[in-house]
């Protein structure tokens, strides 16, 4: 490991520990005692406030209530950050303004040569959702739902939420324990446990009009919620065997709640088990489209007749 990279890594190692010794540094980074001492002295010279502790069990600790030195980025780390920013354009991610200001601050920390390299990468690398003839064409779609950041900020205070949703031109409110917040097919969704009817529900964020902490003291605990969910787990009604081509398609896209288990050590075959709500016509259409997307490298073990009928209906359109 090169010296600059090693010292940056040692600094992160030190920041995450209340106390450390030279022996621990030697063992962790596979370096000699003299090299470890030189690295520690260089880190101290950079401004990291270390306190040496004498005695048999002595070592070092970071001084409390002290400002740590600025983090130094390697060329590869800077490129990794900017490529990540580029790859997430037009993804409707939260904290958009903060991402933009972060990129501007990083640009101010690097040399002109590094800036030129980033400009070249920006002009050369093209990611999904970007028009190469007009890279800024889809910038407006990068704006997240205005309620998304408020939801995240409230969630960081408490997972028990009081949400207000717009449903059929009416406003309805629910006490919810938030299980997951996720992005699927261009939309942000939240999966929560409705504390009124004690059922799991999915709420589209674009219908959310208000959110605040649910402050009622007498409520189900997280453990009780998870136990209730496990007791009412839906029985599996869709089971498929996937070949290599179908697995490749699965990796490109799959609904959030669906996963696969590999059936050989080479990961060339897998089995898919899940529950499909056949009373939900939209879900049947979505799953039908997705099964067609997987291709013909699948074998059906079990499938609801409603999905089978929809598949036959779709295939009949292509078979005169």
Task: Assess whether pLDDT exceeds 80 at residue 160.
Answer: yes
CATH number of 146-231: 2.30.30.520
| Residue 244: per-residue pLDDT | 95
Alpha carbon 85 to chain centroid distance?
A: 14
Per-residue pLDDT of 8-60, as tens digits, reads 888 888 877 778 888 888 888 889 988 988 888 888 877 777 777 765 556 88
Residue 194 forms beta bridges with which residues? 176, 199
Mean pLDDT throughout 58-65?
Answer: 70
The 3-state DSSP class for residue 93 equals coil
| Residue 138: per-residue pLDDT | 47
Q: Is 144 exposed, middle or buried (0-12, 13-18, 19+ CB in 10 A)?
A: middle
Residue 84's alpha-carbon distances to 87, 93, 112, in angstroms, are 5, 12, 20
Per-residue pLDDT of 88-132, as tens digits, reads 776 778 887 777 777 777 777 787 888 888 888 877 888 776 666
Domain boundaries, the chain: 3-62, 75-142, 146-231, 238-316
pTM strictly above 0.75: no
Non-local CB neighbours of 18 within 8 Å, separated by 6+ positions: 61, 62
Residue 184 forms beta bridges with which residues? 187
Per-residue pLDDT of 161-200, as tens digits, reads 999 999 888 999 999 999 999 888 778 899 999 999 998 8
Give 3-62's CATH code, choosing from 1.10.10.10, 3.40.640.10, 3.40.50.2300, 2.40.440.10.
1.10.10.10
């Amino acid at each position: 490991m090169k010296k600059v990279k090693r010292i940056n890594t040692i600094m992160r190692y030190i920041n995450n520990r209340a106390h450390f010794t030279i022996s621990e540094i030697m063992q962790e980074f596979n370096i000699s005692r003299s090299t470890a001492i030189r690295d520690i002295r260089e880190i101290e010279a950079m401004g990291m406030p270390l306190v040496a502790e004498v005695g048999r069990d002595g070592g070092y600790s970071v001084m409390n209530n002290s400002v740590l030195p600025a983090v130094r980025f390697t060329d590869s780390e800077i490129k990794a950050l900017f490529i990540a920013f580029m790859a997430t354009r037009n993804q409707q991610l939260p904290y958009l303004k903060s991402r933009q200001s972060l990129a501007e601050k990083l640009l101010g920390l690097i040399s002109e040569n590094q800036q030129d390299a980033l400009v070249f990468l920006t002009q050369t690398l093209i990611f999904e959702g970007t028009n190469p003839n007009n890279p800024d064409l889809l910038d407006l779609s990068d704006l997240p739902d205005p309620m998304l950041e408020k939801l995240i900020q409230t969630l960081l205070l408490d997972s028990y939420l009081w949400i207000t949703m717009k449903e059929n031109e009416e406003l309805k409110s629910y006490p919810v324990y938030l299980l997951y917040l996720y992005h699927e097919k261009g939309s942000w969704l939240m999966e929560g446990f409705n504390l009124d009817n004690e059922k799991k529900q999915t709420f589209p964020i674009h219908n959310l009009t208000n959110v605040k902490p649910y402050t009622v003291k007498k409520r189900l605990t997280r453990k009780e919620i998870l136990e209730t969910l496990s007791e009412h787990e839906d029985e599996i009604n869709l089971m498929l065997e996937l070949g290599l081509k179908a697995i490749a398609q699965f990796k490109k896209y799959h609904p959030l709640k669906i996963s696969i288990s590999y059936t050989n050590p080479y990961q060339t075959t897998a089995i898919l088990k899940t529950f499909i709500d056949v009373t939900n016509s939209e879900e049947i259409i979505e799953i039908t489209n997705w099964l067609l997307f997987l291709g013909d490298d699948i074998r059906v073990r079990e499938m609801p007749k409603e999905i089978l009928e929809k598949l036959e209906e779709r295939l009949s359109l292509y078979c005169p």
